[in-house]
Structure 1
């Protein structure tokens, strides 16, 4: 009777070892998946921040050209012009979020411009249960929209001499903005009213 029990125990021991090994593998796999998901979320956050930062810097850069267009009565032409994406700002925000900017480009469009940024995280998944994960890094992409939300301004020529003294912008958020081309307000004080910046789906 005792000999048979020892034999049963000896047969069960390899099964026990296999079960423990299987559970350990599952635990490592779940950990690897969780780490990959966390890295992916981190990279997406970096891409979002980089795209927004580049779009906000682009909006800041619009100031001189916008005011020059008001003075020259060529606002429509200015809003339709291509623009340079400030990708150095995208790289700065990506780096601050432990990622590298890999691609950054603008997509100009009348009243609605876009900047798209692609990033790659700096940390690999590096899991022993996922082959090739030593060099596998999370990638993400984000697009920010720069929308001009005060179209069709009213030009006021009070003296009737052909010189526009005032532009009155009625914006989509209901705000009314008055800008005198000859003495425009600081761009920082009006840029957020004129141009909305937000993330959009690619």
Structure 2
């Protein structure tokens, strides 16, 4: 009787070992998936921040061309054809969020410009249960819009074909700009232009 029990116990031991090994594998696999998901979320956050930074920088860079277009009433032409930059700011924000900027493409569009950025996370998944994960890094993309949100009228006070005052209506906001002495761009740009993320 005792010999039979020992043989049964000896036969069951390998089964227990396999079960424990299987459970450990599942634990490590779930951990790896969770880590990969967290890295993916981090990369997406870096992409979002980089896209918004690029769009904000592009909006700042509109200042010279925007204001120069006002005296001769060329704002419509400027809005339809103007350069869009901002990618240097995107790189800095990606690095600040533990990612590398792998792409930054502006899409000029008149009153609504877009900038699409791509990033790759700095940290690999690096899991022993996922083949190839030592070199696998999370990737993400994000697109930000710089949208001119106003309508306007202008006044030529001296009848010399030079516009002296522009009146902008931007949703519920009203703005007056005199080309001869414009307000600081940092104060008016956020009223004239809306910057936000959109789906890729």
- Using structure 2 for the length normalisation, give the TM-score: 0.97
Map of 1:116 onto structure 2: 116
Q: Secondary structure at the match of 1:182?
A: coil
Q: Is the 8 A contact 1:104 1:116 kept in 2?
A: yes
CA displacement at 1:73 relative to structure 2: 1.3
CA displacement at 1:182 relative to structure 2: 1.2
Aligned counterparts of 1:51 and 1:114: Cα–Cα separation in 2: 9
Deviates more, 1:155-164 or 1:123-132: 155-164
Map of 1:80 onto structure 2: 80
Map of 1:91 onto structure 2: 91
Q: Is the 8 A contact 1:103 1:118 kept in 2?
A: yes
Map of 2:191 onto structure 1: 193
Map of 1:181 onto structure 2: 179
Q: Is the 8 A contact 1:83 1:106 kept in 2?
A: no
Aligned counterparts of 1:182 and 1:189: Cα–Cα separation in 2: 17
Where structure 2 has 5 or more consecutive residues not aligned to the other structure, the ranges are none
- Using structure 1 for the length normalisation, give the TM-score: 0.96
CA displacement at 1:87 relative to structure 2: 1.3
Q: Is the 8 A contact 2:166 2:177 kept in 1?
A: yes
Deviates more, 1:69-78 or 1:189-198: 69-78
Aligned length: 200
Map of 1:68 onto structure 2: 68
Aligned residue runs from structure 1 range 98-137, under 5 A: 98-137=98-137
Cα deviations by residue, 1:35-76 (Å, 9 ceiling, x for unpaired): 000000000000000000010000001001100011231111
Runs of 4+ in structure 1 over 6 Å off: none
Where structure 1 has 5 or more consecutive residues not aligned to the other structure, the ranges are none
CA displacement at 1:82 relative to structure 2: 4.2
Aligned counterparts of 2:157 and 2:67: Cα–Cα separation in 1: 20
Q: Is the 8 A contact 2:48 2:142 kept in 1?
A: yes
Q: Is the 8 A contact 2:56 2:86 kept in 1?
A: no
Map of 1:22 onto structure 2: 22
